[in-house]
Amino acid sequence: MVKLQQDRAVRTRETIIRGAAEVFDQYGFNGASISRIMKRAGVSQGAMYFHFKSKEDLARAVMNAQPDTVIPRLDSRGLQRIVDMTFVWAWQIQQDVLLRAGVRLTNEQEGTSVRDASPYQEWARILEITLRQAQEEGEVVASADVRQFSEFLVSACTGMQMYANAVSGRRDLPERVVAMWRILLPGVAAGRIAESIDLNPRRFV
Amino acid sequence: MVKLQQDRAVRTRETIIRGAAEVFDQYGFNGASISRIMKRAGVSQGAMYFHFKSKEDLARAVMNAQPDTVIPRLDSRGLQRIVDMTFVWAWQIQQDVLLRAGVRLTNEQEGTSVRDASPYQEWARILEITLRQAQEEGEVVASADVRQFSEFLVSACTGMQMYANAVSGRRDLPERVVAMWRILLPGVAAGRIAESIDLNPRRFV
């Protein structure tokens, strides 16, 4: 019985987060309101305030859900897994409102009352773990600073999606990701690993 | 006489753009108003509407003034000039309200009525011209696609300043730019050129 109630609470929370993502994606942080999100998610005021106390709380939950929209779709390892992470991300940002809203909120922070560096740092942490393992297994050059490289990857992807959004409504983002890897792989891939990396951005579609 | 009037018109326009930059830097696009900008710049309504018809016009002028805050400070050439462009930019964004407001407006477009990809494209064009010349002079590897590399540099710098803003209020941006060049130079610099590149981010301070 307690288990059933917990399941329902988890589902309600997810419903609210998805509703919030839809509203944030459409209106941005400043244009969104809790009442609009309640309506979109179809939940009562009681359910909303049980899970989230403020619009800032909701924004933080949406921003920090980004990795959940990407990581479960991966099945590769090593350097290919890093590449795939960026491919899946570039695809999902066009398909999944939860990821797109999370990215928008993360990048629009300066004009809002939300201040949270953790979405950047969490992506960097996930990349760093995989990169360090790839380095230990000899796929990444020993001289690479994997922490700096991970933070740089997050920065580059952040900027690429903004550039792509400005020039093509993000349609050319997958091609930009491929171009990035053609630039980065020669410096980071050890030995002849680069030749074995699949750079087809649609390998997950 | 006509010349004097023209000079005065140019100065008034610059005064307005700087006042607009200060207001946009502080309040963002949506929080700024023409009347506040007029007040900040100390110009009359007549002078304002002679130069700019709308807040969108003002935002576009500020966004597109970015290169003017960086390029005149450069005195190097070849690949060092590209590196220096990023160093001066990383320094100026902390010092010069015109550059900082231009960057903020460019990146905040999604939530506003301004749509203008030209600040990204103009930076890419400037980088591409210098990179192509460096490639012709043998400083950049022949296999590099200088157009893609230029657009990637703009993307990476855009994302780095957002990451740096979130984690350090941009204080660590120069160090992030150095880390980027340590990652990129091995793949793009021809022969032993990388060894002669000065990676001291304060060489222009």
Ramachandran angles phi, psi of B67, nearest 5°:
-60, -30
**What is the average per-residue pLDDT within A123-140?**
97
Give the separation between CA B96 and CA A149, rounded to whole angstroms. Answer: 29
Contacts 24+ apart (CB under 8 A), A166-173: A166/B106, A166/B109, A166/B115, A166/B116, A166/B117, A166/B120, A167/B117, A167/B120, A167/B121, A170/A93, A170/A94, A171/A94, A173/A90, A173/A93, A173/A94
In this structure, the number of other CB atoms found within 10 A of the CB of residue B186 comes to: 15
One-letter amino acid at A43 equals V
Instruction: Convert the pLDDT of each residue in A153-199 to its tens digit.
Output: 999 999 999 999 999 999 999 999 999 999 999 999 998 999 999 99
Overall residue count recorded for chain B in this entry: 205
Q: What is the pLDDT of residues B44-66, one digit of tens each?
A: 999 999 999 999 999 999 999 99
Task: Kindly report the average pLDDT of chain A as a whole number.
Answer: 94
| DSSP structure string for A14-58 | HHHHHHHHHHHHHHHHHH--HHHHHHHHT--HHHHHHH-SSHHHH
Where are the extended beta strands (E) located within chain B?
A: none
Q: What's the length of chain A?
A: 205
Q: Judge whether B93 is closer than 8 Å to chain A, CB to CB.
A: no
Best residue in A158, A177, A184, A185 to probe B by mutation, most B CBs within 10 Å? A158
- A204 compared with B36, residue with greater pLDDT: B36
**pLDDT band per the 50, 70, 90 thresholds, residue A113:** confident
Residues in chain A within 8 Å Cβ distance of B158 = 158-159, 162-163
Superfamily of domain B2-62: Homeodomain-like (1.10.10.60)
Report residue A144's pLDDT band, with 50, 70 and 90 as the boundaries: very high
Cα A5 to Cα B134: distance, rounded to the nearest angstrom: 65
pLDDT digits 0-9 by tens, A77-112? 999 999 999 999 999 999 999 999 999 999 888 878
What are the sequence ranges of the domains in chain A?
2-63, 66-196
Tell me the C-alpha distance between B35 and B52, whole Å: 12
At B1, the pLDDT band (50, 70, 90 cuts) reads low
> Rounded to an integer, what distance in angstroms lies between the CA atom of residue B197 and that of residue B84?
10
pLDDT at B51: 96
Give the other-Cβ count within 10 Å of B132's Cβ: 15
Tokens of B153: 């540099």
The residue-averaged pLDDT of B186-190 equals 93
Q: Is the pLDDT reported for residue B108 higher than 90?
A: no
DSSP B190: -
Q: To probe the interface with B, which of A27, A112, A152 has the most B CB atoms within 10 Å?
A: A152
Residue type, B150: S
DSSP secondary structure code for residue B67 in this structure: G
Give the pLDDT of residue A115. 86
When the candidates are 3.40.120.10, 1.10.357.10, 3.30.200.20, 3.30.565.10, the CATH number that belongs to A66-196 is: 1.10.357.10
> A2-63 is classed in which CATH architecture?
Orthogonal Bundle (1.10)
